[in-house]
Amino acid sequence: MNIWSFDFAWAFLALPPLLYCLYRCKIIPQKRYFPHLQFFGNPGKWRNMEWLLKALAVTLMVGALATPVVVDYSDPRNRNGIDIVLSLDASGSMNASGFSSDESRATRFEIVQKIASDFVMKRREDNVGVVVFGDFAFIATPVTYEKEIISEMIGYLSHGMAGQNTAIGEGVAQAVRALKDSKAKSKVIILLTDGEHNSGAVSPKEAVAMGQKAGVKLYTIGIGEKGEFDSKLLAQMARDGGGEYFAAANEKELREVYDQIDTLERSRIKSAQHTFFEHYFQYATAGALLIVMWLIWRRRVKG
């Protein structure tokens, strides 16, 4: 998306008095005497055209002084977002249904896919990646700005594709690895699970320590009925990881959780001194210069 603006828009305040003076302030010409006035045509039309050209030249010069710029917000350099990794539980228990009142036959994982895709598409300024975990964890999509690709890939995932158990520590550790090349000042992992840690070579405590060392903030979400997931573990992980812990018993509550995280982790607006843009004042200056040169040439020819 390209947005036109002016660095010094206040310069246009000088335009009205300049145009007024150009119109009202008369130049006293040097008197010359010539007996054969019939050789001269009617100068009225030329004078009107000359005034319009002068007015255009003044407008272009003021426009150049105002410094027109175009900021291309599709340029990655003009984004100052957050790098986020969604770590999703795809264990066998995510095949349970009844999580949504509107879609009673839909599994927990299918509901999570839909909500996670919506969350990704809302993070317009951010880079997002996805990790899936079960018996082990793997990076389903690397951290990238291509939201459509991420959303589409989430739709291809399925429960059980990483095994039937729940390796929470692996889910966090793999998410930290996905962020290892991140240059973002703010890095976030959002871990979602409906079970208890019972698999994997990395413990949740070790995984959180990895995140702390890498400067990653950790949010944890437990879904399902009370007692189905280890709320104490998830709350402790969130505290140690600098984030927050949430619980959701149904689809509505899970949407509210993601909306709350979306509000908590807003991308900072990039300051002007770190915004990359393209200046166009040179075109206005060149146009004004051409008009002035032509007017000078015209006057010399007439003289």
Residue 32 sits in the same domain as residue 116: no
Residue 36 sits in the same domain as residue 89: no
- Please state the rounded mean pLDDT for residues 88-112: 92
Question: Does the pLDDT value for residue 269 go beyond 90?
Answer: no
User: In the predicted model, what is the mean pLDDT of the chain?
Assistant: 84
Residue 238 sits in the same domain as residue 155: yes
Residue 67 sits in the same domain as residue 105: no
Residue 22 sits in the same domain as residue 42: yes
Q: What's the number of domains the chain is made of? A: 2
Question: Does the pLDDT value for residue 45 go beyond 70?
Answer: no
Q: What is the pTM of this model?
A: 0.65
Residue 118 sits in the same domain as residue 221: yes
- Please state the rounded mean pLDDT for residues 267-296: 68
Residue 52 sits in the same domain as residue 10: yes
Residue 96 sits in the same domain as residue 69: no
Among 270, 211, 248, 207, residue whose Cα is nearest residue 116: 248
**Whole domain around residue 56: which residue ranges?**
2-73+272-302
Residue 201 sits in the same domain as residue 280: no
Q: Are 180 and 213 in contact (CB under 8 A)?
A: no
Q: Are 230 and 197 in contact (CB under 8 A)?
A: yes
- Please state the rounded mean pLDDT for residues 146-162: 93
CA–CA distance, 245 with 232 (Å, rounded to integer): 10
| Count of Cβ atoms closer than 10 Å to residue 165 Cβ | 18
Both tokens of 50, joined, read 């000359």
Residue 68 sits in the same domain as residue 89: no
DSSP string, 69-118: EEEETTSGGG----EEEEEEE-SGGGG-B-S-SS-TTSBHHHHHHHHHHH
Which of the residue ranges 26-35, 120-129, 241-250, 277-286 has the most confident prediction, judged by mean pLDDT? 241-250
- Please state the rounded mean pLDDT for residues 187-194: 96
Q: What is the pLDDT of residues 201-250, one digit of tens each?
A: 999 999 999 999 999 999 999 999 989 999 999 999 999 999 999 999 99
Q: What is the pLDDT of residues 112-124, one digit of tens each?
A: 999 999 999 988 7
Lowest mean pLDDT across 10-14, 82-86, 90-94, 164-168: 10-14
Residue 150 sits in the same domain as residue 223: yes
- Residue 230, amino acid: D
Q: Which of the 8 DSSP states describes residue 8?
A: T
**CATH number of the domain residue 107 falls in:** 3.40.50.410
CA–CA distance, 179 with 85 (Å, rounded to integer): 8
Among 130, 144, 127, residue whose Cα is nearest residue 80: 127
Residue 150 sits in the same domain as residue 294: no
